[in-house]
Amino acid sequence: MTAQTELLACKLEHLRRMRTYPTYSHDHVTQMTPVNWSQLTPEQHETLAAFRVRFSDFQEQLGKTMRAVVIEEEQAAEPFTAVLLYMEKLAIIDSKDRWKEMRELRNAINHEYE
């Protein structure tokens, strides 16, 4: 096994462990409906913060793993759109546009809470 393949295996195992965290937080966030942002309790703010951080971390690690796959497959890793197109071709993601929408949403939420 090459060093890159070992790294990829570690990244995939890490993602397997991580994937339950955003789902757990999402389930708690969806129980907060309807949401009146000005009347959130500290516990609700904590729930939203946990979801934001877990989603961001998972997406960041997934992006790094996708780049590692592309490098292992000797495909273009720059720009990141090339990575997304390759992942779309492999049916790892639905579409590069959907990934970008999720990334933009993630960035907007993160900047809102800075």
CB 26 within 8 A of CB 48: no
Query: What is the reported pLDDT for 107?
Result: 82
Model pTM greater than 0.85?
no
Question: In terms of pLDDT, which residue wins out, 114 or 81?
Answer: 81
Mean pLDDT of 48-64: 89
Q: What is the mean pLDDT of the chain?
A: 86
